[in-house]
Chain A
């Protein structure tokens, strides 16, 4: 009897200890997984910048590729007797595609968000929202292939240009990818506009359109802006769609019917077999680092403007 009592006592102690230990371990695991996200960002940051650094420091690399050389030529020709890494055509190319994409996706997605949150009857709403979600779920390689095979011929039939694959084609395909991003955030922020504001507006004699455009839209503006900026970040970084739909010729022109080469597609296309540690390799990482810094800047800008707008609106109200 004595033995069993002791045993049960021991067991209860060990059970208690084991319980605490598992709690401790789980806590640490949760902490680690939250820490891993930060660690990942930091490691990627360090890696990308370390590989890009020779462009600024290594004299061997600098002979072929330096900041000055990047902007003193308008030709991107990395595999050549005289390699030329002109950033201007690929920066202009990226801007052209992104501008086309935003030009299409902002009015479409914001308009759709206003319609679904302010005007649409419930039955239609039930169709629009899942449709947008499905659009968001289409893999970008499928969108790219669709643009390469179908859309390019369709636009060529309308505009009669020579290059099937061009900035317009890639921009439109890209807008399919960012419309759901902007739409879902804009729709959310329009939905979170307090009912009392809308009711007050209606009670003062404003009609539905006036209420939607002057009250709801302006109150939801910080959220919509945040959505647009997130869409912009996605557009700049999106690779597969532009790789397939833009033609990837590094032509410097303002014509949106010319084929373009974007920064992200350049990395994707050329990094595969580039000699590790060569100037070309460092230049590609330098492009990656620039994209990184660019999106970081955009995101902080978004935070700043959204915060300021929110404070301003709160003060007004």
Chain B
């Protein structure tokens, strides 16, 4: 899994090949000048021996060389950092774009069954974390490796035995680092999971703030939150602490290298194989050699957390998309809808709709009734292609809707749901919903749906900003607004899911008139409780526990004295 994730991160970065290799080039220049400046400083000191024994011409040559390298190092390190930032910001921009596009391709079954807080956390926190890790990661990793190689070359130039001692102990440092990182990887994953659980919890409690307030549920909400908060503190402590052991541990290994170099150097010096000065240089290089290891291991912690985040983002990106079968376009429809032997259930182990066949001719009004939880909304989910049937076909003008592009199908349906959603946008944009119509059309749609009265009472009329969370609109006003959305484009098939449940009867009656006009020549599916509104329906489908128990016209069903009759009676108790 991690190998796959890493490979994908690398291939993502390779898309910015040019910038990436340019950045590596600058890193190289930066590292080399960084290694040469101390060497030159040492040479400069050699020109300054004692009183009256200073070679100023030699010194100036060296000093101007140092100045040149300093400028080179300044430019290259700046450009390197700029390029690295650019790459990683681009990567995160791309990942955000990709995951947002993914959202619109995920099937409803995924979104219905996954907490939105978790998905949100992947797109926002994890993508950010991934890019942060990358910024620190790649540039430091590369300069670190370059410094190590450069120092090794210098060391071999000094004395091969000392260089070998340093080289042989190196793997130990790497071994320690990878040992710790393997163990902390799991802790980081637990931490990321706890973090996402926490985001979910906060999201929920903020959204359900009314309930918390009304039931004085603060203490309970706090208890739920505190438990998760405690878990997160513990897991983040564990992950942070154990990954931060890496640095001291490798530094310890490096100190051992230093001690061994001192020992070998001293023994070689006693035997006269090297000079004391050479040993001093070797020691300072050995010291310098160990520093990048510290940096690299320091980066590893960031890196690990970035990899875990990358894994979570890739997992989202890899989710199965809504099947794209059905590329056919359909721009208009007669509105003839049939269900042909359709079976469907959310949970495949529990049967829901079984072998359902039915035909609504163009312009007919089909009412779906049944007790709460009987599966009325399921029919709508299938019609709108939010879910696809497990078996059988749904036909629109004789064409299997699965052979037609989803969006194209949906555009033919006008849907008003019981739970209306209000966008973070103006009233006007909430009615337009991305379609292009004139202001006059918008006003007309609002008038027809009787939404204009309350809209004009809002502080800025049609330009008032709304949001789903804000409480400035009542449920009924929300429904009027969503009816106005439909009035605007008049699609050939209407789906009204308890469309008027929160609207008072007076307004409803007015809307019914508009609806009646709207429904003329349009096939309409309506879910309603108020049986009075569906008495004129061409067909009434009576559902109970997910299956169709009766079907027919109002009078026929009453005569049957079956389940519909019972429902109808209870309305007037």
Q: Do A and B come from one complex?
A: no
Chain B residues in contact with chain A, CB under 8 A?
none
Chain A residues in contact with chain B, CB under 8 A?
none
